[in-house]
Structure 1
């Protein structure tokens, strides 16, 4: 429900047993889009507020997708994500017993985006409602690997100050995304780590993904050591099936009761030590790819900074007039995408003739794809 107001508020209420299921967001508040995303997290993704104080009893611990009261990092549900991006278990407020996976999450404060745990759990929830892809691949990151924050015992201090110590350390080692240019000619002999988290959406088929990482010169060539050996590495990761999928909010269920957070989940880490005689140059960066069994690229070093644009679909007659009762639509795609959509051969009583805007890379904003039709009875 979108309320026609500039006031800053929002709300969500779910009681599916009695048919109540809605969330409310303002239309014109300067925070409207953020409020909508937060309430969407409640209403459709099943995420809880991360600003509430209190303590999760055992049954609530099992039901919650994104909250915990388990202080042991070895036992907390999101232990596989610890140290990945901004995932560091901390109290949501001073003295609180409620633990969150990141202090920076829209479910705690709408100044932030969804944290990694909420993204993962939200994707799993949506996968039960909409059949789409069979894998969730979190946006990978590359960092200098020093051993810091690499084991559960590094995450025992739950105070907010320790969370910020972690993020400061992480940002100082980050070599991907907007920090890609931090890689420099002093990296000889140092280790780098490519890491992501992958969730198998299938409860039948295990998957096998390949990670490739290399040092790339500014001209696109691969850097080498003094003997001419390329600075690159490859590793394969086995992704288990989601055995517990039937327990994770199956279609038609009124609520999430309990499920195994780690079923079908794999934390993937590829560590590479740069040779001491590496022939590094100014402008070098770390390049990588995550590929499926067929060689399709699921993510690479440009994924995080990828620009997007919108594409509009229109349906018209040969003379350019609009076909009645066709609203068209708009969707988002990455820059450079080559659209190869298959047009409907018939639309109502009209026959497809031609299409404008397909089969060429999208390199500008406002791209329009127009399908043209004519009456079947026309000669």
Structure 2
């Protein structure tokens, strides 16, 4: 460990192009000439479009998961989103398929089940229209079912492309049988659900859905409405809605938002318990060979007092950004003793998940 230690990226990258998409992405990333850069981007987009038209979702997913380096992962993910969201040239209108991630912090004495459907989604759609997130008078349909992330993941990019081009009106919603995903609260937890919808976007017209809108009055009103519709006398409940987003962006944003809030809850609760026990807390951040970032919050000199947090690294996660976010949040909790392990650690030690304890680290351990 050194005084400049940063968390290493534990995800395996081969450094070798293994598919046509890798080669095209690598060529684009290495190009400096503007003309050739435009041509390289067009070639990559054309290959993605061809694979989407022929149902090559598995090949695209494999290309992203086996990318030779993080830059290729990010580029392929970005161009895939563009391929799905950008309408065909000359089309009079296209369908905007969107999702709204909602992170829910809930706690109850005993158990409670949060319903998998809003009692009145029309009121929510009206609220979003009044706050300018939905354009008044536009053809937009927001479904009332609360969906888990797995259902959104099951919709392939090629299907999103077909919906974009084939749907002619929004009033019927998306032509897919989604299932309600109720939430079983046993004690407390941080949960993620999605509301999905479709809007018809005329060509050359202002956006009918404000995707990625900045949080503001609309978000507070949205949260209050959800609280009222899903409240239960025995439950504390804090819904935290995100802005409507294109489908693939919402998938990643919802995952990250849920993990961030889980970490906030973990850090504040664990630090409080350690301090109440008269211990001096220490945070240890480490990366492990199964692609996880782990945080150990423990007592400086008592190896029996600690708790662990796991962040499974997604394809688009930046380890340096996560290190910065976690360090900043810990400091907001008035905690400055943050130690960074600069090498990749094993996932398991002594037949148990390995969380390096403050008592294991040398006195000269890095303080971030």
RCO comparison, higher one (Cα < 8 Å, 6+)? 2
TM-score with structure 1 setting the length: 0.26
Greater strand content: 1
Greater helix content: 2
TM-score with structure 2 setting the length: 0.27
Q: Which has the larger radius of gyration?
A: 1
